[in-house]
A and B are shown apart, each in its own frame.
Chain A
Amino acid sequence: MITIPYLTALTTYFSYGLLFAFGQFRDFFRKIFDWWGTTNLQGYAPISLDFEDFYTRRLYLRIQDCFGRPISSAPDAWFDVVERYSNDNNKTLKRTEKRIKCLNLGSYNYLGFAAADEYCTPRAIDSLRRFSASTCSPRVDGGTTTVHTELEECVAKFVGKPAAIVTGMGYVTNSSILPVLIGKAWLIISDSLNHNSIVNGARGSGATIRVFQHNTPSHLEKVLREQIAEGQPRTHRPWKKIIVVVEGIYSMEGEICKLPEIVAVCKKYKAYIYLDEAHSIGAVGKTGRGVCELLGVDTADVDIMMGTFTKSFGSCGGYIAGSKELIQYLKYTCPAHLYATSISPPAAEQIISAIKVILGEDGTSRGAQKLARIRQNSNFFRSELQRMGFEVLGDNDSPVMPIMLYNPAKIPAFSRECLKQNVAIVTVAFPATPLLLARARICISASHSREDLIKALEVISQVGDLVGIKYFPAEPKKQQQEKGTIKLE
């Protein structure tokens, strides 16, 4: 849980209040000008009402240059960021021809498959020549090729389940599978910080949704007991089925799910579990098989496992793995399978090759090296940041580390200062996070070398001092000397 220092909370509220007041002031003047001038709506209703747009117009547009920065090379450990300029105070941004070579701490490139890889890319190009870029047809019609069937077997074997189904986009996997599996008399209990795709899928299913406190198995048990005792709303009949939805690694907190305790609670109350491993598949665990391997949970205990290929495998798409009957049912009812174009064959081939590299089936030990490197890199980086006095969230072994900023003015300051020193950082604010808890999020990759990380730490420490985000006291350097003396003895 995040605890804000009292003074920081006050100053953050004050900053937002000031921004809000200025925004209202400018809106007031804008209304007066508009009232004089003519409107060109001619009887149509306006697209967005005043207050819906307020955050975008008055707060987000001021710092728009910190988001959506275009790049012109592969998103590898070092990449080229395109410089942009603005003539009208950040309302529109235009690209220039200049490129800045920056260290990439923002892309989801956990195992380093983002750029052209020596094993995967030739195979992807072969598959492109053989099957072309797209099949122009949904899976049930004419869009299933040999690559697709091979991919599904490969994924099922890797994850440790009997069968798997693959779709072309991770977001759609959640938002179209949940409505098919879950009907009206079901209960969904989801973690309070679940991703937008799960929320959309749950809403689209029409079932009742209850939320439990983030990553707290005891609260989950309490909610389950209450809901089973009460039954369905109004009729109080027992629920047909109950499903608990959790994520492996939460992308905004970097925390790893407390899976063994949650599985125990669900077994006790006979609820199903749906695990979303978007960030954890391929990135954690001894052989990269995700949170189940890391925490020692048997994959047969988790009923439905979902994941995406964008992060660790350098491709696109999502998968669902489960029992054979479940997958067979989904193949004939899931809208993503019936109506959407199937996943592009070169992308599918990239996933198969990436899985082969991770498992060592390509004949080298590159996969094991990558997995060891990402763990070492994440743990080193996190411990150094904490030593310097930053407030870093997340558990050990997780490659996602958010650094708390809180104050809205620190968001653009941190981002721009880091860019000046050639480090590309991602900053996240409302609405992806709660209003007070803005943060900068770092994603470590296996392709970062030790020198890259040390340079990044220097730059972040400098900028952190400048901007003032070292909320915790830095550990004194005395301890290192003491360690030295113990060694000598």
Chain B
Amino acid sequence: MQREPLVLESAAGPHTIINSKEVVNFASANYLGFIGHEQLLNSCTSALEKYGVGSCGPRGFYGTIDVHLDCEARIAKFLGTPDSILYSYGLSTMFSAIPCFSKKGDIIVVDEGVHWGIQNGLYLSRSTVVYFKHNDMESLQNTLEKITSENKRIKKVRRYIVAEAVYQNSGQIAPLDEIIKLKEKYRFRVLLDESNSFGVLGSSGRGLTEYCGVPVEKVDLITASMGHALATEGGFCTGSARFIDHQRLSSSGYVFSASLPPYLASAAITAIDVLEKNPDLISKLKENIAKLWTGLSDIQGLSIASTPESPIVYLRLETSTGSVKDDLKLLEDIADHALKEDSVFVVVSKRSTLDKCRLPIGIRLFVSAAHSESDLLKACESLKRAAKIVLVNHI
């Protein structure tokens, strides 16, 4: 039923080697092309020679190395927030942060298309969770109205809205300015997951707040995984000092777990330095996204479900077969065909049995600033041909 994942034999950059053949890689979220960047590799090497690999302890027990504190300060300076906190794993960032601030009896309003990390955090917090339709602001407003009018003791209860800047499950971008208007009207707090928009959206890469023109203080907590644009591992949370300090003692993924290996923290610092000096990386990425979008918009049988500026281009079947398994088989056939015939590596989004998200699955392409024009053209042509051949009976 399930296929074995493909084994890469070289770094996961825009070109990689699979089965001794060179392929164009659209499966790594390497948005700014930092994989293989000389400066990052140098800073990692010197950190490895100085500190070794692991940090051998949790943050409270001599696992806090000065690079961690420097990295937290650098991120806070870049985004313009008072403070930030580093986690050692991207996925655990959200599911450790949410139970810190929300307990039984509190109310969380969340988009129905959020990824598993957020869903797990909501479950662990034991709060009342209310879903609203994916990226639909009217549905959000109705939900907020309903909750505020039904609940008499609403002033005492902590209320949150959780959203992702760029949804991993559909590639759509959330309209942050409208969310902030609603938040101020109904007095909710906003927790925003910027894993796929940090370093991508906005003229200098500061994320969705810059893109929508919202001052960063209006968002109460921003979390992000560093395994996307920054090409390292781990995650961070940033916001007001009160929010961050509280997590240092009550967030289970921070207190009970070993800290991030120091070389990954120094890679993050170098990545942010390079990004600040070269803002043309972001404009190159935007051009690449636009080219890919126009190239893929007229494939028969597949439609693009993501917003035009999102770095994840999400292709869905125009007409579904009716069962998730059959959809998955068709999409995987298309991806296989593209790999075998034209050496273009794309992936189908996969869901765990624990995932509650019901949005349709599709093919995901992660665009990178390091992709050349020929790579993008090759991908468009290849997917057109593959879709024609595989979906010929289906349309």
Contact = CB atoms under 8 A, between A and B. Distances in A.
B28 A333 contact: no
A116 B263 contact: no
A104 B56 CA distance: 11
A233 B250 CA distance: 32
A317 B56 CA distance: 11
Nearest to B249: A56
B8 A335 contact: no
A132 B39 CA distance: 11
Contacts of B62: 69, 71, 75, 79, 81, 104, 106-107, 424, 426
Contacts of A146: 7-9
Interface string A68-82: 111111111001011
Nearest to A337: B352
Contacts of B65: 70-72, 75
A128 B48 contact: yes
Contacts, number: 288
Contact of A136 (B57, B156, B231): B231
Given A132-B36, A136-B29, A137-B29, A316 B52 contact: no
A134 B233 contact: yes
Given A133-B40, A344-B264, A426-B62, A47 B158 contact: yes
Interface in B295-341: none
A interface SS class = loop
A169 interface: yes
A47 to B, nearest CB: 6
Interface residues of A, number: 95
B290 to A, nearest CB: 22
Q: Which of A42, A47, A69, A72 has the most CB of B within 10 A?
A: A47
A95 interface: yes
A226 B63 CA distance: 43
B223 interface: no
Interface residues of B, number: 92
Contact of B253 (A168, A171, A313): A171
B358 interface: no
B56 A136 contact: no
B354 A316 contact: no
A226 B36 CA distance: 59
A80 B97 CA distance: 31
Contact of A142 (B27, B61, B68, B249): B27
B271 to A, nearest CB: 9
B345 interface: yes
Nearest to B59: A68
B394 interface: no
Given A124-B48, A339-B91, A142 B54 contact: no
Contacts of B124: 200, 203-204
Interface stretch (B114-122, B278-286, B378-386): B114-122
Interface string A26-62: 0000000000000000111111100000001000100
Contacts of A301: none
Given A144-B8, A171-B92, A74 B50 contact: yes
A280 B229 CA distance: 36
Interface in A112-155: 113-117, 120-121, 124-125, 128-137, 139-146, 148-149
A117 B54 CA distance: 12
B257 A169 contact: yes
Given A71-B66, A135-B8, A142 B25 contact: yes
Interface stretch (B10-18, B136-144, B211-219): B10-18
A149 B5 CA distance: 11
Interface in B41-64: 41, 44-45, 48-57, 59-64
Interface string B236-275: 0000001100101100110011101101100100000000
Interface of A: 42-48, 56, 60, 67-76, 79, 81-82, 95, 104, 106-109, 113-117, 120-121, 124-125, 128-137, 139-146, 148-149, 168-172, 176, 179-180, 195-197, 200, 203-204, 308-311, 313-316, 332-336, 338-341, 343-344, 346-347, 350, 424, 426
- The 10 A-B residue pairs whose C-beta atoms are closest, nearest first, are A142-B27, A341-B227, A169-B89, A340-B91, A171-B257, A310-B258, A107-B56, A136-B28, A350-B53, A132-B11
